[in-house]
C-alpha cells in the first residue's frame, strides 16, 4: 500500500511531511513509485491517460475543489474520485462571493470605469433589503456562501435540481421562477453535461433588467458571446472569476468592457497543509471502511 503524488513538487513536499508525521506506515512517493502495484491512492490534478500501470489503485484525490478536469468515463469503475474539501477553500469562496456581490450591488464596475476616465459622478445607492441574491448550486460551497451573505440583509434564494430545506432561504427547483426573482445571480454549480453552457441567452433573458452576474463556478458554464449580448440588452454588470477559455486572449472583448470585472480563477486556492490533512482523513476513513469525505457520485459527476 502506497500513495503517489503527481502534482506540484513544492506542495508535494508539504504533503510528504504531513504523511510522515500522521501516517508513517504508508509510503508516500512524489512523481514515481518504485512498485506501481503498491499504489492504492493517487493525489493529482489530472489523472494519467493510462492507469493500467497501477492495477491496485483505489482512490484518486483531487488537489483542487473541482473534479471536472477528470474524464470520469475513462476511469476504471472501481476507482473512486475525491474532491478537495479542506476548510480554507470554503472560507475563501465565502470571501470572494461577498466581495463580488457587494462590488456589483454598489456599482463598482461603473465607478472603476468612471475613474479611468476621470469622471466624478455618484449613482443612487440601493438598500440590500431591496436586492434579491440567488445562488445557483446548493452544495457545501453554495450553502456556505448564502450563510456568509446573511449579515448584509439581502433577500436570499437558491436553486437546486433537488428540493432542499434551508432555514431562511427561498429554495427553488423551478429555474425560470428562480431567475425571474433574482437581481444578483451567483453561479456556483459543478461542471456537468447538464450545466455546461447553462449561462446562455435563454437564461439571461429570464433575469430582470439591470440584473448582475457573479460567476464563480466553471468557465465552460458561461457562453461568453451570450454574456456580451446580455450586457448590450440590459444586464448591468458581471464579475467573472472563471472564463472559457482560461485565460482569455489579451484582445478578448471582456477585458475592456466597462461593466465587467475579471479575476484569474483565484476565488479559492488549496492550502497544501490543510489539503494534506484532508487527504489523510480520507485515507484513514477508507482504511477503516468509513465514509470518505468528498467522495463523489461518479454517475452524477460531482
Show which residues are catalytic: 218, 265
Q: Outline where DSSP puts E strands in 104-195.
A: 132-136, 155-159, 170-172, 184-187
Question: Could you give the CA distance from residue 20 to residue 10 in angstroms, rounded to a whole number?
Answer: 16
Contact 215, 238 (CB under 8 A): yes
Cα 195 to Cα 89, 154, 191, 207: the distances in Å are 22, 26, 6, 17
DSSP single-letter state for residue 255: H
DSSP single-letter state for residue 161: S
Cα 64 to Cα 40, 194, 294: the distances in Å are 20, 21, 11
Q: What is the largest CA-CA distance in the chain?
A: 67
Grid coordinates representing 297 are 457520485
Q: 73: buried, middle or exposed (CB in 10 Å: 19+, 13-18, 0-12)?
A: exposed
Amino acid at each position: 500500500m502506497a500513495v503517489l503524488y503527481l502534482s506540484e513538487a513544492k506542495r508535494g513536499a508539504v504533503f510528504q511531511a504531513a504523511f510522515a508525521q500522521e501516517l508513517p506506515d504508508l509510503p508516500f512517493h512524489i512523481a514515481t513509485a518504485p512498485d506501481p502495484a503498491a499504489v492504492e491512492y493517487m493525489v493529482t490534478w489530472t489523472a494519467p491517460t493510462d492507469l493500467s500501470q497501477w492495477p491496485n489503485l483505489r482512490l484518486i484525490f483531487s488537489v483542487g475543489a473541482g473534479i471536472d478536469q477528470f474524464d470520469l468515463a475513462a476511469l476504471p469503475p472501481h476507482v473512486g474520485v475525491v474532491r478537495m474539501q479542506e476548510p480554507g477553500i470554503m472560507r475563501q469562496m465565502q470571501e470572494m462571493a461577498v466581495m463580488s456581490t457587494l462590488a456589483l450591488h454598489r456599482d463598482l464596475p461603473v465607478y472603476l470605469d468612471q475613474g479611468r476616465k476621470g469622471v466624478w459622478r455618484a449613482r443612487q445607492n440601493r438598500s440590500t433589503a431591496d436586492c434579491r441574491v440567488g445562488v445557483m448550486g446548493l452544495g457545501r460551497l453554495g450553502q456556505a456562501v448564502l450563510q456568509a451573505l446573511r449579515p448584509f440583509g439581502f433577500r436570499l434564494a437558491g436553486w437546486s435540481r433537488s428540493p432542499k430545506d434551508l432555514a431562511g432561504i427561498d429554495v427553488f427547483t423551478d429555474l425560470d421562477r428562480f431567475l425571474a426573482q433574482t437581481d444578483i445571480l451567483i453561479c456556483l454549480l459543478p461542471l456537468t453535461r447538464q450545466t455546461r453552457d447553462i449561462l446562455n441567452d435563454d437564461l439571461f433573458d429570464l433575469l430582470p433588467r439591470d440584473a448582475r452576474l457573479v460567476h464563480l463556478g466553471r468557465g465552460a458554464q458561461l457562453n461568453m458571446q451570450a454574456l456580451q449580448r446580455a450586457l448590450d440588452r440590459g444586464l448591468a454588470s458581471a464579475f467573472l472569476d472563471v472564463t472559457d477559455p482560461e485565460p482569455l486572449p489579451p484582445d478578448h472583448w471582456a477585458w475592456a468592457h466597462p461593466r465587467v470585472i475579471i479575476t484569474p480563477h483565484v476565488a479559492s486556492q488549496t492550502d497544501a497543509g490543510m489539503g494534506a490533512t484532508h487527504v489523510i482523513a480520507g485515507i484513514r476513513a477508507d482504511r477503516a471502511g468509513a465514509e470518505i469525505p468528498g467522495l463523489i457520485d461518479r454517475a452524477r459527476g460531482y
